[in-house]
Structure 1
Amino acid sequence: MKPLAEITAEYLRDSGQFSLIAPMLIGKLGPKFLNPGPKSSLILTSGRVAERPVKGYTMGAHRAAGLYGMTRALALDLAPIRVNIVSPGATETEMWGDEAQRAARREMMKKLLLLGKAGTPEEVGEAYIYLMKDSNATGTVVHSDGGSLIQ
């Protein structure tokens, strides 16, 4: 992500691949590979910044919030195939760096997060499983964020 002052039209065009183009193509092509009906679903991934932006992260907030709207629009267009979105908060993965970096970030999260810890991939994965199983959920967002939206 670049700070707002450094964003150019070219950057916007080039960085839209994952936040706009890929989900749109999944919406276009996905139904060809799914059984029609509410047992089938597409699940996109966003993030906490869609609803609780962070200073200096305008592009991230834009992308995440845009996916919320796209999810609801795709749910309308693709019904009865369901389309939902998972919005994870801080999740401890290898992306946090080596073990020393992860330990430092773990300590920081203890102080910052309502539950005193970041989520695990297994915990966040439960949100995806829920959306796969609940054939009555469409056009919605499921949060796995440890309460970060209310803190």
Structure 2
Amino acid sequence: MATSPLQLKYVTKLAGARVLVLGGTSGIGFAVAAAALEHGATVIISGSQAHRLESALARLKQAYPDPSYHHRLSGYTCDLGVPEKLEENLSSLFKQSTTTAAVQQQEQSPPSPLIDHIVFTAGDSPQITPVSDVTVDYIQKTGSVRFLGPLILAKLAPKYMTATSNSSITLTSGSQSLKPLPKWTVLVAYGCAVEGMARGLAVDLLPIRVNCVAPGAILTELFDSIPAERRQSVLEQMSKDTLIGQ
């Protein structure tokens, strides 16, 4: 008796979808890009530095050497660190990601150049500063990528996205919003603000779904910015703050 072929319902949900990952060159964003690619999506990653973008694309192609993955992968630089150029840079990223020419390079017969899912994991190395030392300039610079970035992205995104409830925008904050460490007040404030932003956008951007994920401490390339002599003690302190000590 012949058996029916296995019908997969869950691991194919991203098949044919177009996914844009901001901050996709390292850490959580890189893992999201790899997972989306593995599950059949066409993936566009962005980062602020061209050499890191090229490295990330090369690593993804090495991890998935079959050419069928390569034509579903591309990347563009987008600097979110300069508030005055934020809207211009994000507009450029969206246009590059959705032009017919760019899509045709990735897909044989693309049904639409529009984006189905956006994941925002972009960030920069945080400068931990006690409240007694903060300045207006520090507060503004700290919020450029973390707060202004996702907000301006949300302003522009609907024009370039498929407007259905199957589409989504996922933002990231951090567990420090719920359990702050000393001297993290400004960073915690922005984390809470992003979570509030997601709630508002979930209403304003209907039918597109908007959610926010608050990950705990994850050992990524971001920790490379911590001086080597302090890194281990920082990791140990963060481990103590988790239930399982890891």
TM-score range, shorter-chain basis?
Answer: 0.5 to 0.7
Partner of 1:29: 156
Q: Which of these residues, 126, 132, 143, is aligned with residue 5 of structure 1? A: 132
Q: CA RMSD in A?
A: 2.4
Partner of 1:129: none
String of CA shifts for 1:80-137, please: whole Å, max 9, x gaps.
10111111001112333399977766655554421232xxxxxxxxxxxxxxxxxxxx
Quote the sequence identity (%): 35
| Counterpart amino acid of residue 245 in structure 2 | G
SS at match of 2:214: strand
Contact 1:96 1:105 in 2 (8 A): no
TM-score, scaled to structure 1 = 0.66
TM-score, scaled to structure 2 = 0.42
How far the C-alpha of 1:18 sits from its partner, in A, is 1.6
Contact 2:130 2:183 in 1 (8 A): yes
Considering fraction of residues, name the structure with more helix: 1
Match status 1:114 vs 2:114: no
- Identify the structure with bigger relative contact order (alpha carbons < 8 Å, sequence gap 6+): 1
| Counterpart amino acid of residue 66 in structure 1 | A
Partner of 2:211: 84
Q: 1:15-26, aligned counterparts within 5 Å?
A: 15-26=142-153
Contact 1:38 1:80 in 2 (8 A): yes
| 5+ residue gaps, structure 2 | 1-127
| 5+ residue gaps, structure 1 | 118-151
String of CA shifts for 1:3-51, please: whole Å, max 9, x gaps.
1111122222232212321111111111111100111111111001111
- How many residues align structurally? 117
Structure whose CA Rg is larger = 2
Single out whichever of 20-29 and 70-79 deviates more from structure 2.
20-29
